[in-house]
Amino acid sequence: MAELVPGHVRVDRLRRRMIATQIVGAVVILLLALAPYVFVPAVTSQWIKLFYLITLATVWNLLAGYAGMVSVGQQAYIGLGAYGIFVFNDLGVNPYAGALVASVAIGVIAFGLSFVAFRLRGGYFAIGTWVIAEAVRQVVVRFDSLGAGRGRSIADYTEDPVMRNLFTYWLALGILAATLIATLFLLRSRMGVALQSIRDNEVAARALGIHVGRAKRIVFVIAGIGAGLAGSVISLQQLGVQSPNQIFSVSFSAFMVFMVLIGGIGTIEGPIVGAVVYYVMDLYFSQMGLWYTSARWACGTSRCSVCWRSS
């Protein structure tokens, strides 16, 4: 959207030429919500992975692409989201509602952890977040009630596998829609300008009145909540956690980096494109083993070199 202003200068505000995209997005999400009435559960349950991948890529892009915080420790919140299901399920909360309750708790935890992580900058911040994720894993495996180091299944769950799939599908889609809407809203608000200012130059951002720490903390908490919700979906889909090493794996961060870089960092649509590319590659080529892994990283590396050369 362009605005006509005094002096007859048209100003493009925050790349607001996306109304059509938003309408298309809303229609796509609506169609996806109705998809289980058309497709068999075997098909729709595969899409759950795509939904949480887009969620993960979007929140990582918010962190790194918009606020300049390159975290490789988002698996901390994925793991907490997955384990949060058990904690609240054991207290008698329905596992789907448990995902939402856990996300609130994760927001509080991320807020607390931000005070540790924000003591570090740049590369040290990246490594610091990884160390924090490891520490979180170490704490979680201390609890026998959470399966200690062995992983655990959800105790009290919807019996009917079709309904189970359907609920997980809608939850994953709802989380994805909420993440995308929250991201759009955040970037359209003054906060969007503040975050990008901080990413480009913190000192100048401060001198213009932007509370850098506060803005970063808000994004850090939102990214933690998003990753936590994705973790809950993973746990619901797998009916539990196979092992803490899997759910707290740094590979999740590697995938997030891959998806965001492939699609285009610092753009709203980039993580969606990247997640779709990754999902398709994973779906069709993952049987190819090492060749697939090599090709994926070659693809990621070449995309990065293009990005950095052009920036």
Partner 1 sequence: MTPPTATAEALLEVDGLAKSYGALDVLTGVDLAVPAGQALGIVGPNGAGKSTLLSVINGTERATRGVVRFAGRDVTSVSPADRARAGMGRTFQIPRPFTHLTVFENALAGASYGAGLHGHAADMRALEALEMADMLDVANAPAGSLPLLGRKRLELARALATEPRLLLLDEIAGGLTEAECDSLIATIRQLHGEGITIIWIEHVVKALTAVVERLVCLATGVIVADGPPDEVMRSAEVQRVYLGGGL
> What are the residues binding partner 1 (CB under 8 A)?
3, 5-7, 9-14, 190, 193-194, 196-197, 199-201, 203-212, 266
**H or E, element range at 2:** strand 2-5
Residue 62 DSSP symbol: I
Token pair of 128 as six digits = 């610091």
Reference 89, options 162, 156, 39, 27; nearest CA is 156
Task: Using the minimum distance from each CB to partner 1, give the nearer residue, 5 or 19.
Answer: 5
Q: Closest distance between partner 1 and the C-beta of residue 275, in Å? A: 22
Task: Using the minimum distance from each CB to partner 1, give the nearer residue, 178 or 187.
Answer: 187
Chain-centre distance for alpha carbon 273: 14
Q: Closest distance between partner 1 and the C-beta of residue 190, in Å? A: 4
Q: Closest distance between partner 1 and the C-beta of residue 100, in Å? A: 31
The residue behind tokens 């490789």 is 72
Cα angle 6-12-16, degrees, rounded to a multiple of 5: 130
Distance CA(77)–CA(85), nearest Å, equals 12
Task: Using the minimum distance from each CB to partner 1, give the nearer residue, 182 or 199.
Answer: 199
Cβ-Cβ contacts under 8 Å for 14 (sequence gap 6 or more)? 187, 188, 192, 193
**H or E, element range at 10:** strand 9-12
Task: Using the minimum distance from each CB to partner 1, give the nearer residue, 94 or 197.
Answer: 197
Q: Closest distance between partner 1 and the C-beta of residue 198, in Å? A: 9
Q: Closest distance between partner 1 and the C-beta of residue 205, in Å? A: 7
Task: Using the minimum distance from each CB to partner 1, give the nearer residue, 68 or 147.
Answer: 68
